[in-house]
Structure 1
Amino acid sequence: MKISMRNHMRRSLRLTCVALFLAVTATSMGAVTEHAPVHAQGTSKGASGLPLPRFVSLKSRRVNIRIGPSTDYAVSWMYTKEGLPMEIIQEYENWRRVRDADGTEGWVNQALLSGERTAVAAPWMKGKGKDIFVNMRREAQPSAPILARLEPGVIMRIKECNGTWCRAEAGSVEGWVNQGEIWGAYPGEAFK
């Protein structure tokens, strides 16, 4: 009798823990969706006084991304590509919580980030087929001559955006790419 009562209590405790976990997870996921827009620029200001979220790029060839805002936290990933665009989504002292084009998030020391704007050509299309390209055009018009066809995943330096098109440099070619075909500038964002 005592054993069966213990088993019942353990089962009830496990079910309560699972229900509590699911409730907390659902609440926190709702809060993230509601309060942390992925594609909106300047919705709030961080401790630095700069808008959050915002795009930056990696300053170094080797950058550790950590699970928390300190060197005391474990490294979860290492980036090995200078100039890779990152989206800053949170600030804590001299640490920045960043997100890459694949959605990976973590903390990076601000000294390893640059304000230089870069972008990735259609990362969501990478590996989807042979004939998928982002066209770089001579002018900011869909009918302008094509200067280059960029494969998904190509990194480019962004010089300016007008809300629909961005003037970019990929290798030795400079031209205009459709803002909706890159990751590194928000829809409708304009800057020089």
Structure 2
Amino acid sequence: MNKSQLRKLGAGLLGACALILTTSFATPVLAGSGTEMGKVTNRPIPRFVSMKASEGNVRRGPSLTHRIDWVFKRRDMPLRITAEHGHWRRVEDRDGIGGWVHYSLLSGTRTVLIEKDMLQLHSRPDATTLVVAALEMGVVARVSACNGEWCLLRSGGFKGWAPKARLWGVRPTETFD
């Protein structure tokens, strides 16, 4: 083979690798449902999880050979999974910053980030009920349940209901017990 043929072969292989990488990191969409499901877990994408570890490397791609771009250093921080590949999950934080982390660093425990300073927790999901605590902006709280507009939170020994619109880590239409 001459140099020209080798260049063409190399370019063709690069294109094939790019195609393989692009399709292997994609997640399928169920026909007619409008719900995207992860190809590894068959769970909805995107979905929220939290950091299990107090420190987790965030990589450019889904393997140990990819460069570490930064490190998440906050246990229980809520994250949104946006893709799956083998044992790896592409996640992003509240600011949309993220990358690939190993699934063992993540937990299904639901947490939220408080997005309003001195957010009041109420005894029931009603703004006219007793205020049991106030949480500062940036606090991470555990979520026990969510209805249409409110979520039941636990933080710092306090438990109460907060408006869902003031939280990052739950979808606006999400409900669960």
TM-score range, shorter chain: 0.7 to 0.9
- Matching residue of 1:103: 96
Question: Which deviations, in whole Å up to 9, do the C-alpha atoms of 1:68-101 show, x marking residues without a partner?
Answer: 1111111111111111100001111111000101
Residue 37 of structure 2 is matched in structure 1 by: 45
Q: Separation in 1 of the partners of 2:57 and 2:66?
A: 11
* Alignment match, 1:174: 159
Whole-Å Cα distance in 1 between the matches of residues 156 and 70 of structure 2?
27
Number of residue pairs the alignment of both structures matches? 143
CA offset at residue 173 of structure 1? 0.1
Please report how far the alpha carbon of residue 43 of structure 1 lies from its aligned counterpart in structure 2 after TM superposition.
2.7
Percent of pairs with identical residues: 38
Task: Spell out structure 1 runs of 4+ moving beyond 4 A.
Answer: none
Which amino acid counterpart does residue 146 of structure 2 have in structure 1?
C
Unaligned runs of 5+ in 1: 1-41, 126-131
The answer to whether residue 136 in structure 2 is matched with residue 144 in structure 1 is: no
Match of 2:73 among 70, 76, 80: 80
Q: 1:70 matched to which residue of 2?
A: 63
What's the RMSD between the two structures over aligned residues?
1.2
Give 1:114's aligned residue: 107
The residue number in structure 2 matching 1:163 is 148
CA distance in 2, matches of 1:134, 1:75: 35
TM-score, length-scaled by structure 1: 0.72
Q: What is the TM-score of this pair, normalised by structure 2?
A: 0.78
Deviation at 1:159, TM superposition (A): 0.5
Letter in 1 for 2:141: M
Q: Deviations over 1:26-65 (max 9, x none)?
A: xxxxxxxxxxxxxxxx831001110000000001011111
How far is the alpha carbon of 1:106 from its aligned partner?
0.4
Larger radius of gyration: 1
| 5+ long unaligned stretches in structure 2 | 1-33
Q: Which residue of 2 aligns with 1:187?
A: 172
Equivalent residue for 1:57, pick from 50, 60, 63: 50
